Amino acid sequence: MENTVSSEELKDETSKVQGDSVQYESDSSSSEPNHEEALITEDDLVYEKEEKTPKLVSPYDRPGKWYVVHTQSGYENKVQGNLAQRIQSMNKEDSIHEVVIPLENVVEFKQGKRVEVQKKMFPGYLLIRCRRNDDVHHMIRNTPGVTGFAGPGGKPSPLRRKEVDNFLAIKKDGDEPQRKIKPRLIYELNESVRIKEGPFADFQGEIVEINEEQLKKDNLNLNSKSLAVFLAKSKALSLADKFSKKFILGCDQICIFNDKIMSKPLNKDKAISNLKELSGNTHTLFGAYCVTKGNEIIIEHQIECEMEMRNLTDSEIEEYVALDKPLESCGAYKFEANGFKLFKSVIGSLEAINGLPFADLKELIDAKI
């Protein structure tokens, strides 16, 4: 689901069958019924064209490129309105096509009741579809409330097809995006679960615990770049005997700064210490996943992301830690919550930074399983 302002008018195209029309007129002056039979030949028949199932059209295929733009926190709708006004007043309708706030439906449980609420997928971010043009990018960057583009060094970097399709959800013409409602649930150790949707739909699973820190201590000789893959692989293989006939997905993230692994903080003080060290610097986040069956490794993959953090004051860091409570989080931040506000630029897959790159993983699963 998306909240969008578009400069393009959507027009429904309907196919029309042209042909001779046949009119049947009754003679109102005659009181006797006409018993003549009308002879219809094959040439008089008009066959309706068989309706084809509407083809799903990706937002990626629309004119222009999609970019991610930072905004001041809580001002996404205001900035969207500012951009709409500037696009109109500066006659940029042919250059800036859409300004979108990606939204998603989330199921929450409040006081024992199931409540469906709509939330922003990426608070503090907008998606803009526009031409690759320095003047256009300059106009966007100087719109009140915009703090910059998401990209290397703050330079505009277009999104990939998989990212656009995931953030905006492919939809049929006239329909709402086909995005599923995402539940927020808490699972307990040893609880049995069944995956309802996605690439692992109908898979059975069990919530188990892996001692990740012990795995790290036992393998300190490993290269830091290899550790994320090793941990993902170790997690999956550690369950091979118990679930020998099941597919097992293991995944992990590692934060590297100055060739040193930043351990996941277990308390508030460590989280603050980690963020002070990362403040104003660039670190690398490695995301890895591994799929096994028995002792066979079917899929093994790693994604590398460069993360440039803003210069943060001590009060900003303390306020953030109190807000997100990023304990046991890679890098001491939760990018998918409010952690994205800490960064000046990121290079890499947003899905990988948020946790697991499902789009990339699904491609590999479809190819190998």
Q: Are 352 and 305 in contact (CB under 8 A)?
A: yes
Backbone angles phi, psi at 235, to 5 degrees: -60, -45
pLDDT digits over 68-85, tens only?
A: 998 876 788 999 999 999
Which residue would you say has higher pLDDT here, 366 or 220? 366
Tokens read off for 13? 């195209």
CA–CA separation, 341 vs 350, rounded Å?
14
CATH architecture of 186-368: Alpha-Beta Complex (3.90)
Mapped onto helix, strand or coil, the DSSP state of residue 307 is: strand
**What was the pLDDT predicted at 288?**
86
Helices 358-368 and 161-168 pack at an angle, to 10 degrees, of 110
- Residue 131 makes CB contacts below 8 A (sequence gap 6+) with 63, 64, 65, 95, 96
Q: Are 342 and 310 in contact (CB under 8 A)?
A: yes
The dihedral through the CA atoms of 155, 156, 157, 163 has a sign that is positive
- The residue with tokens 């042909």 is 19
What long-range pairs does 5-10 form, CB within 8 A, spacing at least 24? 5/80, 5/81, 5/83, 5/84, 5/98, 5/99, 5/100, 6/97, 6/98, 7/87, 7/93, 7/94, 7/96, 7/97, 7/98, 8/97, 8/98, 10/173
DSSP assigned state of 174 = T
Burial environment of residue 167 by CB neighbours within 10 A (0 to 12, 13 to 18, 19 or more): buried
Q: Are 277 and 262 in contact (CB under 8 A)?
A: yes
**Which candidate in 252, 259, 314, 360 is catalytic?**
252
CA–CA separation, 169 vs 57, rounded Å?
10
Among 58-72, 252-266, 345-359, the minimum mean pLDDT is found in 345-359
Q: pTM above the 0.85 mark?
A: no
The domain spans of the chain are 1-180, 186-368
- Residue 252 annotated in active site: yes
**Residues paired with residue 285 on neighbouring β-strands, in sequence order:** 255, 305
Q: Identical fold at 1-180 and 186-368?
A: no
Q: Work out the mean pLDDT of the chain and round it to a whole number.
A: 76
Tokens read off for 74? 């809580």
**What was the pLDDT predicted at 128?**
94
Residue 1 has pLDDT above 60, yes or no: no
Q: Give the confidence band of 201 by pLDDT, cuts at 50, 70, 90.
A: low
**What was the pLDDT predicted at 213?**
64
Fold of 1-180: Alpha-Beta Plaits (3.30.70)
Most distant CA pair in the chain: distance in Å?
Answer: 105
